[in-house]
Amino acid sequence: MFVVLRPQCPSEEERQVLHAAEVAQLGPKLTTIHGRRIIALRGEESQTDAIPFEAFPGVERVVRLEAPYHLAAREFHEHDTVVEVEGTRIGGGGLTLIAGPCAVEDGDQLMAAARAVKEAGANLLRGGAYKPRTSPYDFRGLGLEGLKLLAEVGAEVGLPVVTEAMDTRQIDDVVRYASVIQIGTRNMQNFPLLEAAGRTGHPILLKRGRASTVTEWLCAAEYVLNTGNERVILCERGLVAFDTAVRNVLDLSVVPLAKRLSHLPVLVDPSHGTGRSELVPAMARAAVAAGADGVLLEVHPQPERALSDARQALRPAEFAALAPDLAAIAEIVQGRPALI
Amino acid sequence: MFVVLRPQCPSEEERQVLHAAEVAQLGPKLTTIHGRRIIALRGEESQTDAIPFEAFPGVERVVRLEAPYHLAAREFHEHDTVVEVEGTRIGGGGLTLIAGPCAVEDGDQLMAAARAVKEAGANLLRGGAYKPRTSPYDFRGLGLEGLKLLAEVGAEVGLPVVTEAMDTRQIDDVVRYASVIQIGTRNMQNFPLLEAAGRTGHPILLKRGRASTVTEWLCAAEYVLNTGNERVILCERGLVAFDTAVRNVLDLSVVPLAKRLSHLPVLVDPSHGTGRSELVPAMARAAVAAGADGVLLEVHPQPERALSDARQALRPAEFAALAPDLAAIAEIVQGRPALI
Amino acid sequence: MFVVLRPQCPSEEERQVLHAAEVAQLGPKLTTIHGRRIIALRGEESQTDAIPFEAFPGVERVVRLEAPYHLAAREFHEHDTVVEVEGTRIGGGGLTLIAGPCAVEDGDQLMAAARAVKEAGANLLRGGAYKPRTSPYDFRGLGLEGLKLLAEVGAEVGLPVVTEAMDTRQIDDVVRYASVIQIGTRNMQNFPLLEAAGRTGHPILLKRGRASTVTEWLCAAEYVLNTGNERVILCERGLVAFDTAVRNVLDLSVVPLAKRLSHLPVLVDPSHGTGRSELVPAMARAAVAAGADGVLLEVHPQPERALSDARQALRPAEFAALAPDLAAIAEIVQGRPALI
Amino acid sequence: MFVVLRPQCPSEEERQVLHAAEVAQLGPKLTTIHGRRIIALRGEESQTDAIPFEAFPGVERVVRLEAPYHLAAREFHEHDTVVEVEGTRIGGGGLTLIAGPCAVEDGDQLMAAARAVKEAGANLLRGGAYKPRTSPYDFRGLGLEGLKLLAEVGAEVGLPVVTEAMDTRQIDDVVRYASVIQIGTRNMQNFPLLEAAGRTGHPILLKRGRASTVTEWLCAAEYVLNTGNERVILCERGLVAFDTAVRNVLDLSVVPLAKRLSHLPVLVDPSHGTGRSELVPAMARAAVAAGADGVLLEVHPQPERALSDARQALRPAEFAALAPDLAAIAEIVQGRPALI
């Protein structure tokens, strides 16, 4: 970290900055280059950030050289992390297909969806038992009963299950019935939830917040990694949009960017990322072409009967037609040097 | 709610929509005007939204006429809600000043801040014991010890305390030591937290999410109101910004807008709303001029020693100079008919 | 268009709306469905929008059923438009590669870039003679001299030239020396420029504004089409971003969306769309996978000597390595029914 | 400017950077602090930016210390600029009210609006003769005839006129009939228009682009100032919004920010800034409280007959009721030290 002093910073104010840095054992070193006074500080961001240099009257600006995350950084972990989920490998090459309904509604709906996606090549089953809904009057999921249905149906068709936990009190049940804990976009910075989920050692699928920077996202991953749990899977799902023609703006550039900055696997959810089923196939293909390690897709046996997000669900036949395209594109792009 | 059918919608698809609406007892009524087929539905949004009409092949669009919230709506609750906190009235005229440090750091810091803001006219003391921080390595608050300091200092200087709860497991302690539970911007859609906080009956200060619409905000308030707790205070604190010259874009137009749509009191936090202390006084004045029922301000006895958000804290003398301006502006604008 | 009246709209206010609609010959028809009063209007948006119904006291809302553009709409023009540029066909299947330096700097630089991209399979040569620059002190292009160099080099290597016009006074020169007039993102709503460019009959490459909706973009295309010029090529180039890790957020979902709404060809510019050369190959592949009719890529023989946008330029070898991937992906996705 | 090299930058790459800086006579000076290699460069941004250091392989990042604008910067021009328009002073204390209809529709409408706003205390008359409209089929203004009406009515009621020029070819006529040339939000970065308008020596009212940073806005002002014309008035008018409950998000924090960074007067347009007349009075009061030098307000004698932007126009009585509030708030806030 460098602290750049103001052009005519009085020496008293300069001393104040140096003193604070010395007390914090940051080894400040003052240099003058071309008339500008600069103070270099030693130490990781976590230490240097402990002093609010930006609030000192003599300081013009602070230049940070390191990312605020370490465990998530590719700089310190060169090889791709592969998260294994009951035999399926996510990351490090290959393509993971996670599919299923937005919400578990009943056993028949879930079984129909699960069989269809399994047959078309899905590797994991998704489905919500606890549903975050904008309005308290909307369908909010079956809760524990939904978890049990997921476990039963997943075992029956032979697919590990991914499902969301919305609160620290739900973690134990989700771990009991599912193989992967999903942290939703609204909870990306729910730090107690991240830590509680992390401590279970279960794989964590971490969706990006819809107004979160890539740095904030990797810091959220760092909360999980910092509990000792290395099984983190990132998932882009669209940013807040000023154009209401789509529900969100799917930011695919974050795929190659996150893969450069981090060693963690990166998935994409084009269903929430667009909110419109007719755009989902094109964006799923684009996600794989951008280098994603897999996609998360909402598939419902009868979208016009879905209790949530009906507008964005694929029909089983649409999913089956899409899967071979994704595999073909993955074959072209994987191993391309520019991806990392 | 109206469902508009596609121009050449086949009669089979029209029947499908009518059938679904009849089964759900929504009393569909079909009308043709100027050649377009429209189906009107009876019932509240909560009922009509239970059928995903947008996913039916014959449907062009759905037009919603009611807001998805009811308890929060001024339409059904004409008079301003006043939330009383230990004798201080928030909303319904008057001006509430809530001030104090971003985080509780130690007893001396908190006492210095509390005395200063009390003397300058503050009505409540703010301070964080549980701090949501982007990086896990930043100072995350004193936790329970911080709550106890808040209670002691608040009692000593005679100010009720507002502090944040980040997780359902923290609610009991926050209620024990503080008068108002703050729900932070990252948790505006943490629905289990909203409901757990609501059920305590304690006043809830609900910050707007930094990428949330006014409808989403009022739906979050509805989660609290729906627990039977009517003591909700809204607080605007800035939206995600594409210009890094400010930390957030403070959206003051939401003040008159929220007051038209809802009966709940509306505060503004210009400290987080700008992230830069030199912009805070101007924006606090503007917030009051826009019709806010009060402001939340970060005041630190020595910002250059603050452990969080130092860049946006006012010094006690700055707060003392600002308070009379806010009172003078409040006197001009209050009672203006255009405010509601 | 439908006008929905307020629930207790007085009959005097209802009459006011009906009267205005009758005077404008919009054939208003009043219907009551489920107690709500609705007025249907006949006529195109251009007529119905002439009356500001939203400003009438009795009106709750106006529901528009048609898009405000007609000539650009696929609804009235089922087949893909193909824009022919000196033998190269843009749109309607196939893949167009447009490549070259951001700015024309001198004859050697341009010739080196042009030869390299031609050899690697580019169909058109891009390069700026008039450069919009944020600061007046930056390099603003060679102007007329740049146009002449483009014409010479394009003829020499056998590539038609695309270049930007920033002002109506530049149109004549651009038409003299180039085959396609580019309208830049800052000028997407420069309506006099759109009409002046349109009237030349030259092909127009219309970049999307960085904060423009798809409707605004197609309305801008409508300005050109309305001059009688049907040779419009759309080009997505990234939206304003709150995360400074990228220069813009490339919105690839607009590719399948624009192709559904319109018959015009859609290109993507991943160079401006990301602003970082290391992300460009992945996003070019993704653009083609999303269904784009081609890509616009900045290629500079020595990016570290570029006078503008050096950070986002590919080297010739990078472009040559990328081109076969794009062709392979195009082969997979083209003809997919979900694209339209 | 400082160039920070990568941690293990090879000496060949370091020499490449130093060489380029020497050739450009930027007097590079290399320093090692705490093991990091930093190169300081002398010269203004305009010179140092001529070399694309960010594109050199050995460079980690470039740190700019100066703003890219100079003439607009308060740093080099301490006192507030006052723009005089036929005896009215804009900036430097006081409050300027600019009011009138969105578009000139006919002589009667304009005269009614002008008389009303004059009587209520307006200092200048606004009205559009050339109207930028999203759709080519909307009312686009009366053109030259509108300019003549503005000149006649302005002279009759005794108010100088502000009106927009959309194209360089309209500048001469606008200068002939109006006292201030408005550059609209869509043209903030129409650089040929900025320069042509600047060269007339006429006062320029420069609206902020709806997705423009404060730096981009001040750079646009720099284009005008750089022609030798010092009579620039800034005007904030709202940013692109993700919440469609308002048309734009009025960013009032840019008022104190722009006044700190620049010496130019800053106005606010709450009519476009909200797009809803019922929010305009509150936001006009807030703008003045934030320290604006004045406001721009749309006033129409009969909004329900307006040919454009009817939804956001005040009625004359509303404007008359608002004006005294604005004066009273201005009296409180002006001269506050925190404003600069």
Query: Per-residue DSSP letters for A63-98?
Result: E--S-S-STTBGGG--SPP-EEETTEEESSSS-EEE
- Interchain contact, C4 vs B65, CB within 8 Å: yes
- Interchain contact, C55 vs D304, CB within 8 Å: yes
- Determine contact: A167 vs chain B, CB below 8 A: yes
Give C240→chain B minimum CA distance, Å. 7
- Determine contact: C31 vs chain B, CB below 8 A: yes
- Determine contact: D338 vs chain B, CB below 8 A: yes
CB A263 within 8 Å of CB A232: no
Tens digit of each residue's pLDDT (9 = 90 or more) over D80-115: 999 999 999 999 989 999 999 999 999 999 999 999
- Interchain contact, C135 vs D69, CB within 8 Å: yes
- Interchain contact, A260 vs C278, CB within 8 Å: yes
| pLDDT, averaged across chain D | 93
In terms of pTM, does the model score above 0.90?
Answer: yes
Using a CB-CB cut-off of 8 Å, the residues of chain D touching A244 are 244
Using a CB-CB cut-off of 8 Å, the residues of chain D touching B273 are 253
- CATH, domain B83-332, list 3.20.20.70, 3.90.79.10, 3.40.50.1820, 3.40.640.10: 3.20.20.70
How much is the ipTM here?
0.94
- Pick from B33, B42, B241: which is nearest to C34 by CB? B42
- Interchain contact, A286 vs C286, CB within 8 Å: yes
- Determine contact: D213 vs chain B, CB below 8 A: yes
- Determine contact: D20 vs chain A, CB below 8 A: no
SS3 per residue for A14-37:
HHHHHHHHHHCCCCCEEEEECCEE
CB D143 within 8 Å of CB D128: no
Say how many C-beta atoms besides its own lie within 10 A of residue D247's C-beta.
21
- Interchain contact, B46 vs A137, CB within 8 Å: yes
Determine the Cα–Cα distance for residues B241 and B320; give it in Å rounded to an integer: 30
Half-sphere exposure of D120 toward its Cβ, with a 13 Å CA cutoff? 26
Return the higher-pLDDT residue of B336 and A160: A160
- Pick from A45, A69, A186: which is nearest to B190 by CB? A186
- Interchain contact, B286 vs D286, CB within 8 Å: yes
Give C285→chain D minimum CA distance, Å. 23
Tens digit of each residue's pLDDT (9 = 90 or more) over B250-306: 999 999 999 999 999 999 999 999 999 999 999 999 999 999 999 999 999 998 888
Confidence of residue C26 (pLDDT cuts 50, 70, 90): confident
Supply the pLDDT for residue D339.
Answer: 45
- List chain D domain ranges: 2-63, 83-332
Position B48 pLDDT exceeds 80: no
Confidence of residue B33 (pLDDT cuts 50, 70, 90): confident
- Determine contact: B122 vs chain D, CB below 8 A: no
Q: Measure the CA angle with vertex D182, ends D178 and D187; round to 5°.
A: 145
Task: Name the DSSP class of C67.
Answer: -
Determine the Cα–Cα distance for residues A173 and C99; give it in Å rounded to an integer: 55
- Interchain contact, C193 vs D133, CB within 8 Å: no
Position A339 pLDDT exceeds 80: no
- Longest Cα–Cα distance in chain B: 76
| pLDDT, averaged across chain C | 93
Determine the Cα–Cα distance for residues A138 and B91; give it in Å rounded to an integer: 30
Q: Partners for D (CB, 8 Å, 3+ pairs)?
A: A, B, C
- Determine contact: C275 vs chain A, CB below 8 A: no
- Is 3.30.200 the CATH number for A2-63? no
Position B47 pLDDT exceeds 70: no
**Closest residue in chain D to residue A30, using alpha carbons only:** D33
Tens digit of each residue's pLDDT (9 = 90 or more) over A63-121: 888 889 999 999 889 999 999 999 999 999 899 999 999 999 999 999 999 999 999 99
**Closest residue in chain B to residue D212, using alpha carbons only:** B243
Using a CB-CB cut-off of 8 Å, the residues of chain C touching D190 are 166-167, 186-187, 190
Determine the Cα–Cα distance for residues A239 and A208; give it in Å rounded to an integer: 9
Using a CB-CB cut-off of 8 Å, the residues of chain B touching C4 are 63, 65
Using a CB-CB cut-off of 8 Å, the residues of chain B touching D257 are 245-246, 279
- Pick from D55, D137, D193: which is nearest to C304 by CB? D55
- Pick from C4, C40, C60: which is nearest to B33 by CB? C40
Tens digit of each residue's pLDDT (9 = 90 or more) over A250-276: 999 999 999 999 999 999 999 999 999
Chain B contacts in chain D segment 223-252 (CB below 8 A): 239, 242-246, 249-252
Q: Partners for C (CB, 8 Å, 3+ pairs)?
A: A, B, D
For residue D122, give every residue at least 6 positions away whose Cβ sits within 8 Å of its Cβ, in sequence order, or none. D97, D98, D99, D100, D159, D319, D323
Determine the Cα–Cα distance for residues C224 and C209; give it in Å rounded to an integer: 16
- Interchain contact, D192 vs C186, CB within 8 Å: no
- Interchain contact, C273 vs A285, CB within 8 Å: no
| pLDDT, averaged across chain A | 93
Using a CB-CB cut-off of 8 Å, the residues of chain D touching C49 are 135, 137-138
- Interchain contact, A33 vs D36, CB within 8 Å: no
CB A78 within 8 Å of CB A263: yes
Specify the pairing of strand C2-5 against strand C59-63. Answer: antiparallel
- Determine contact: D25 vs chain A, CB below 8 A: no
Supply the pLDDT for residue D311.
Answer: 85
How far are the Cα atoms of B28, B100, D97, D103, D307 from residue D313, in angstroms, in the given order?
38, 41, 15, 11, 11
- A301-306 contacts, C-beta under 8 A, 24 or more apart: A301/A101, A301/A109, A301/A112, A301/A113, A301/A116, A302/A109, A303/A277, A303/B52, A303/B55, A304/B16, A304/B20, A304/B52, A304/B55, A304/B56, A304/B57, A305/A109, A305/B52, A306/A101, A306/A102, A306/A103, A306/A105, A306/B52, A306/B55
Q: What is the CA radius of gyration of chain A?
A: 23
Tens digit of each residue's pLDDT (9 = 90 or more) over B136-183: 998 899 999 999 999 999 999 999 999 999 999 999 999 999 999 999
- Determine contact: C169 vs chain D, CB below 8 A: yes
Position C271 pLDDT exceeds 50: yes
* Pairs of CB atoms within 8 A across B/D: 127
- Determine contact: B260 vs chain C, CB below 8 A: no
- Pick from C245, C260, C278: which is nearest to A338 by CB? C278
Confidence of residue B339 (pLDDT cuts 50, 70, 90): very low
- Determine contact: A338 vs chain C, CB below 8 A: yes
Mean pLDDT score, B313-325 = 96
Determine the Cα–Cα distance for residues D318 and D236; give it in Å rounded to an integer: 22
Percentage of chain A modeled with pLDDT above 70: 96
C218, C246, C253, C319, best to mutate vs chain A, most A CBs in 10 Å: C253
**Helix B107-119 / helix B144-157 crossing angle, nearest 10 deg:** 40
Give D258→chain B minimum CA distance, Å. 10
Tens digit of each residue's pLDDT (9 = 90 or more) over B112-138: 999 999 999 999 999 999 999 999 998
- Pick from C56, C219, C313: which is nearest to D304 by CB? C56
- Determine contact: C59 vs chain D, CB below 8 A: no
Supply the pLDDT for residue B153.
Answer: 98
Tens digit of each residue's pLDDT (9 = 90 or more) over A185-227: 999 999 999 999 999 999 999 999 999 999 999 999 999 999 9
Using a CB-CB cut-off of 8 Å, the residues of chain D touching C313 are 55
- Interchain contact, A136 vs B57, CB within 8 Å: no
- Interchain contact, D333 vs B339, CB within 8 Å: no
Supply the pLDDT for residue B340.
Answer: 43
